[in-house]
Structure 1
Amino acid sequence: MSAPGALHGIRVIDFGHHVAGPLAAVMLADQGADVVHVDRPGVTPPADDAFFNRGKRRISLDLKDAADLSVARDLVRRADVLIENFRPGVMDRLGLGWEELRAGNPRLVYCSMPGFAADDPRAGVPGWEGVIAAATGNCRIRAGHAPDGWDDTRPTYTAIPVASNFAAFCGAFAIVASLTARHRTGRGDRVEVPLFNAMFEAIGGSGAYPVAQGLLPERAISSNGSGTYRCADGGYVQFNPIGATPRFLTWFLDAAGVTAWTGDGLTDRARMDRDPSLRRLLHDRLTALFQTRPAGEWEELANAAGVPLAAVRTLAEWLETDHALASGQAVVVDDPELGATVMPGSAVWLSATPVPPGRPRHLPDADRAEILAELTSPPADPPRGEGEGAPVSLPYTGRRVVDLTQILAGPSAGRILVEFGADVVKINSPQRRVGAHGFVNRGKRTVLVDVKSSQGQQILWRLIDDADVLTHNFPERTAERYGLGYEHVRARRPDIVYVSVSCYGYGGPWSGRRGYETQGQAATGIMTRTGGDGRPAVLGPYNLLDYGTGAMAAFASAVGLYHRELTGEGQQVHTSLTQTGGYQQARFAVRPAPGLPDAERGRHRPAAEPCGPSALGVDPWHRFYRASDRWFFLGATRGGLPVLREVPGLKEALSGLDGADDDAVAAALETAFHTGTAREWTGRLTAAGLGAHPVTTLVELMTDTWARSRGLTVSQISEEVGEVVMPGIAIRVHGNPPRLGHPVRRPGADAREVLSRIGLADSAEALERGWAVQMTALPPGWDHF
């Protein structure tokens, strides 16, 4: 019999709807929590309900009915966690607000995920994904992926609910962190992750810059021939041999049998930087080369050579790969309505508390009798933690983390742990540029150590001996070759929480493959749904997999630390870019199981979606429009036409359009909206209770007065470049707020302090002479000119 999940014994009441609330709750259910989902009576669930409510018990309650509302309150009185994602004020009006509920249940962790925060002037605006995308600039095409002749001012719409997903990832993490703090103090807390705020986690390093330089224009990733290439079978591959050296490109050229290209300077980084014609020559040669073999052959060749390259797949193809199924990133569930159904597996994996594979959903109200019967018995006394009644401190105060991760995903997890109290030592390799250092390593102490050398290993092991958490992002088996595998580490630190982050995850045939954001998007189908005219494209402008996986890895760490808090036991936990890719597309990821007969496949009806760069929205009532000065998003529904007609300036435009086709309605609105500015129209629309927001540029967002006043954008003073601006903290915890980490110094600048802490201060110079540590001629931490 398998061990219970890490969150076994935690009761969650899930009032969530759409994506954010149910997704956060399913992440907790997958780790063993008893989640009770509250449905509205009479609602027919869509196909994606099979994923969003799997593993939960369900009861249907009309919260406007006094008897049902009394049941809801009784459920919450016995709960550990409440999750909701209504607009601010809705739960308070129902008598289910934080202030009222905590009086009867002071141990409650209450998590809200509205569109905009309660203190935001836009709190009453419906927080549709398109509205949040417009408000946060998440409607631009990725640099280098726009069609020829593209108008850069024109927005593009994605059906992937990026803001809701990030709110769920951050909310699930913050809930577990708050449960950890509650174990010591006995007191719950209120967590708030508005969708607007959550997007600052997604923006990440894209919004970080020295003030003296300003925010640089987005640049396409094109070094060493990076790009998307068409192959002999009409398929595509995403090739990304980036890095501090051209090693990946060299390995690929050798494997492809064109080593002679090196003689033309095509692997000479310095020459390529000086001579744009060489970069064009490399791209042209690669374009011709990839057309000589099918995409699958290139994928196998490149990955055998250790090169980051992925064939571009659809989401359905990804979910049916041997790797996704073997690694548990896709699971087959026997759904009570849909039958055999494949969907994303758990967001994270834990060795000591593995989740049961594929617990199917229950249908609405299926558990009503059982849940009501439980309410007739006296509530159990809450368990008391060893430190209950202790003074309030951040959940991970006193916890030490050794962070070996590189690039964006892993370091972001470490930064989030810093914000919740952890002491993090960041280790990077000497003589290497450290990307996005000023943001992803904020609050950490930084040291440059060659962990492959014997002396570097001495430094590392002394740090590990004092650590509670170790994080790395080596591909599978690479850590073992360095003597840093989980079994090696737990032999010395059996209670360590050992966090692994990778592109493809562990446990399947692709576990040893390398990859970055673009490979994760290619493999899981995001590029297919983003591209137009059959050509796939990387979804942008922000790194939804890198930073999403950072939040997922923080969640994995939090679950591991919570289990350790209760039991004293460590374990290995891991997540990956492709797991995050599946979760980012969860609305569309409920598919027929492989081999299901055609007659059964029709019951799986994923939500319709607009695709391609030219997409502006779902229909005329829910899309981007051009006003006289700029674009804005209208968030309404077909049923809201009577309300739309009453908006000043639209009554005449919409008269006589009952029963008209969508094109006619869109044309009428386009004409009307050209008569005023975006600010004027959004003011009129929101006054009528509709969703609307002007498209905001990243520069406008990062300098927005309200965002700055709430710590969503922050300024710090870097010893290297002076004042810098970057995203702040997306998560609010009201009784125990997370802290902004101190400005990180230039990479490696804390070496002497770190060495002193582990008793090697007197050996510092000798270690540097032996190339084990770098303390002089440090690399820059900010891209500046």
Structure 2
Amino acid sequence: MGRVWARLLLQAWNAVGGADGELDRLTVTGPSDTLGSRFPVTAVGVAAVGASLLAATASGREPAGIDTRQLAVALRSERYLRRDGASAGDPFDALSAFHRTADGWLRLHANYPWHRVAALRVLGCDESAGPDALAAAVRRWPSTELETALHEAGGVAAAVRTEQEWWATDAGRAARTLPLVEHRDLGPAVPRPVRRARVLDLTRVIAGPVATRTLAAHGADVLRIDAPDRPEIPLQYWDTLPGKRSALHDLRSDDGRLEELLAGADVVVTGYRPGALDRFGLDPEKLAARHPGLVVVTLSAWGHLGPWAGRRGFDSLVQAATGIGVAEAGGDPEQPPGALPAQVLDHVTGYLAAAAALVALAAQRREGGTRHVRLSLVGTAAWLLGQPRAAAAPDVAGVDPAPWLEDLDAPDGRLTLASPPGTIAGRGLHWPAPAPAFGTASPTWE
């Protein structure tokens, strides 16, 4: 794997804006493959996590390391979470699966109650419908028609496509033009003083929260804001809140609190559809005008270009739509689709976003400016699809997660969590305080 991860690390490091001469500080140990896939997901994970470690240590040029066994645990961190020693449950709703349609397959996502309600309404089913009734309802629809109907109703789904079918769509052609990480200069600003970075976290689910928890692991003061009427799935926040403070605040409120938070922040990370937060004054250009010198990081599922820019999306749906699911199943679109061995698009995008944020923050403090970093799951998917792949997934040995887990006492119980991946100067990383506690902090900077 050495040559593969080194090549991918160079691509990732260049994409996040890293300086020359840094790559030799990273050492990689462990088996070549710890995640079984036709795609080089272990090497891609090494590249993304490695870029975040290099970015976090650039000022002191400390040596960094990553073990591929820990990587396998970190990229599947939600699977290893325990609460008081017991499983935290399955975050996937029964509807969140591949479903046979009239002409193919569709991946549905219904983990959040409002998405489940939309799906049942479109399918003409109620909460009492059993698996057979739901399967029959889906089977009556052509894949792309159901995909569109669910989107228009506020649901979330993606028709399963081959890679060739995806690139032939208008959405696929737009996605193909996206860089892995896009950097924009939003206007002049004086360099800000060096201090502990303050990160305003306006993200949900996995990619954005992985980015901000990585920033917290490397010393940032991260404050996550959620809407009071949109509760998070407990497993999601237990897994992604360590090291952060979590507060509830309605962005529709006109009490001036959001503006105070923005004025005190160094980095703002958003993880919603492009334009979804514009009505709150959170589009990057308006942020640059009001708060010059910010680093603005935006993540989305489908990118900001093309007809799908405004669609809701998740890792599993991007895998399905772009052809990854068909490729993992062996290339036969008639067979049930496969999936990557982890939510790789989410996690890799998250680590790349953290790396790019750290590089942009350091550059702002040296040179000034207001910087915008933009990433998407579909951009990461294009990067993965562009790599050589194997005819079959390699056999991988099971990883003992125990060396890579740690316990935290939290308000909801004793949590067992995957540790932050990597070492710095030979020392492993651990989650700083505070422990995960959803919505309990004040929406203010300490």
- TM interval, shorter chain, is 0.7 to 0.9
> In structure 2, which of residues 7, 30, 53 is the aligned counterpart of residue 174 of structure 1?
53
Partner Cα separation in structure 1 for residue 168 and residue 27 of structure 2: 35
Cα drift, residue 479 of structure 1: 1.0
- Partner residue in 2 for 1:102: none
1:155-304 → structure 2 map (5 Å cutoff): 157-179=36-58, 181=59, 187-210=60-83, 212-215=84-87, 219=90, 221-223=92-94, 225-233=95-103, 235-243=104-112, 245=113, 247-252=114-119, 258=124, 261=125, 265-266=126-127, 278-280=128-130, 283-304=131-152
- Partner residue in 2 for 1:128: 32
Cα drift, residue 504 of structure 1: 1.0
Partner Cα separation in structure 2 for residue 18 and residue 504 of structure 1: 30
Cα drift, residue 430 of structure 1: 1.9
Deviation track 1:144-203 (CA, whole Å, cap 9, x = no partner) reads xxxxxxxxxxxxx42223222111101112223333x2xxxxx42212122222223202
1:433 counterpart letter in structure 2? E
Partner Cα separation in structure 2 for residue 319 and residue 552 of structure 1: 24
1:633-652 → structure 2 map (5 Å cutoff): none
Change in 2 beyond 3 A, CA 1:438/1:386: closer
Deviation track 1:202-258 (CA, whole Å, cap 9, x = no partner) reads 021221212x34235x748334x332222222x211111321x3x3344445556x4
Task: Find out whether 1:740 has 2:439 as its counterpart.
Answer: no
> In structure 1, which of residues 327, 335, 351 is the aligned counterpart of residue 184 of structure 2?
351
Cα drift, residue 447 of structure 1: 0.9
Q: Say whether the 8 Å CA contact 2:12–2:352 is kept in structure 1.
A: no
- Partner residue in 1 for 2:391: 609
Deviation track 1:286-315 (CA, whole Å, cap 9, x = no partner) reads 423333332222222222333211111223
> In structure 1, which of residues 401, 419, 425 is the aligned counterpart of residue 223 of structure 2?
425
Partner Cα separation in structure 1 for residue 426 and residue 137 of structure 2: 59
Change in 2 beyond 3 A, CA 1:30/1:548: closer
Partner Cα separation in structure 2 for residue 492 and residue 293 of structure 1: 48
Partner Cα separation in structure 1 for residue 361 and residue 415 of structure 2: 33
Partner Cα separation in structure 1 for residue 154 and residue 285 of structure 2: 24
Q: Say whether the 8 Å CA contact 2:221–2:244 is kept in structure 1.
A: yes
Q: Say whether the 8 Å CA contact 2:163–2:323 is kept in structure 1.
A: yes
Higher relative contact order (CA 8 A, sep 6+): 2
Partner Cα separation in structure 2 for residue 172 and residue 482 of structure 1: 32
Partner Cα separation in structure 1 for residue 97 and residue 78 of structure 2: 21
Equivalent position SS for 2:356: helix
Equivalent position SS for 2:347: helix
Deviation track 1:622-678 (CA, whole Å, cap 9, x = no partner) reads x4xxxxxxxxx5xxxxxxxxxxxxxxxxxxxxxxxxxxxxxxxxxxxxxxxxxxxxx
2:158 counterpart letter in structure 1? A
Partner Cα separation in structure 1 for residue 192 and residue 203 of structure 2: 33
1:528-539 → structure 2 map (5 Å cutoff): 528-531=326-329, 534-539=334-339
1:662-681 → structure 2 map (5 Å cutoff): none
Task: Find out whether 1:29 has 2:14 as its counterpart.
Answer: yes
TM-score of the pair, normalised by structure 2 = 0.88
Change in 2 beyond 3 A, CA 1:18/1:314: farther
Task: Find out whether 1:82 has 2:67 as its counterpart.
Answer: no
Partner Cα separation in structure 2 for residue 161 and residue 172 of structure 1: 17
Identity %: 25
Equivalent position SS for 1:454: coil
Cα drift, residue 399 of structure 1: 0.8
The count of residues paired between Structure 1 and Structure 2 equals: 438
> In structure 2, which of residues 305, 320, 323 is the aligned counterpart of residue 525 of structure 1?
323
Partner Cα separation in structure 2 for residue 572 and residue 512 of structure 1: 19
TM-score of the pair, normalised by structure 1 = 0.52
> In structure 1, which of residues 280, 302, 323 is the aligned counterpart of residue 171 of structure 2?
323
Change in 2 beyond 3 A, CA 1:206/1:487: same
Equivalent position SS for 1:744: coil
Structure 1 gaps of 5+ residues are: 1-15, 35-78, 84-109, 117-126, 134-156, 182-186, 267-277, 332-344, 354-384, 388-395, 589-606, 612-616, 618-622, 624-632, 634-692, 758-785
1:291 counterpart letter in structure 2? R
Change in 2 beyond 3 A, CA 1:279/1:162: farther
> In structure 2, which of residues 219, 225, 243 is the aligned counterpart of residue 443 of structure 1?
243
Greater CA radius of gyration, 1 or 2? 1
Partner Cα separation in structure 2 for residue 292 and residue 286 of structure 1: 10
Structure 2 gaps of 5+ residues are: none
Partner Cα separation in structure 1 for residue 343 and residue 158 of structure 2: 17
Cα drift, residue 489 of structure 1: 1.9
Change in 2 beyond 3 A, CA 1:302/1:745: closer
- What is the RMSD computed on CA atoms of the aligned residues? 2.9
Task: Find out whether 1:461 has 2:259 as its counterpart.
Answer: yes
Partner Cα separation in structure 2 for residue 414 and residue 386 of structure 1: 20
Deviation track 1:423-473 (CA, whole Å, cap 9, x = no partner) reads 111112225134422231101112111222223xx2222111100111111
Q: Say whether the 8 Å CA contact 2:192–2:364 is kept in structure 1.
A: no
Q: Say whether the 8 Å CA contact 1:402–1:467 is kept in structure 2.
A: yes
Partner Cα separation in structure 1 for residue 363 and residue 301 of structure 2: 25
Change in 2 beyond 3 A, CA 1:580/1:27: same
1:504 counterpart letter in structure 2? W
1:486-497 → structure 2 map (5 Å cutoff): 486-497=284-295
Deviation track 1:607-627 (CA, whole Å, cap 9, x = no partner) reads 54126xxxxx4xxxxx4xxxx
Equivalent position SS for 1:113: strand
- Partner residue in 2 for 1:113: 28
Q: Say whether the 8 Å CA contact 1:206–1:542 is kept in structure 2.
A: no
Q: Say whether the 8 Å CA contact 2:17–2:359 is kept in structure 1.
A: no
Change in 2 beyond 3 A, CA 1:112/1:702: closer
1:731 counterpart letter in structure 2? G
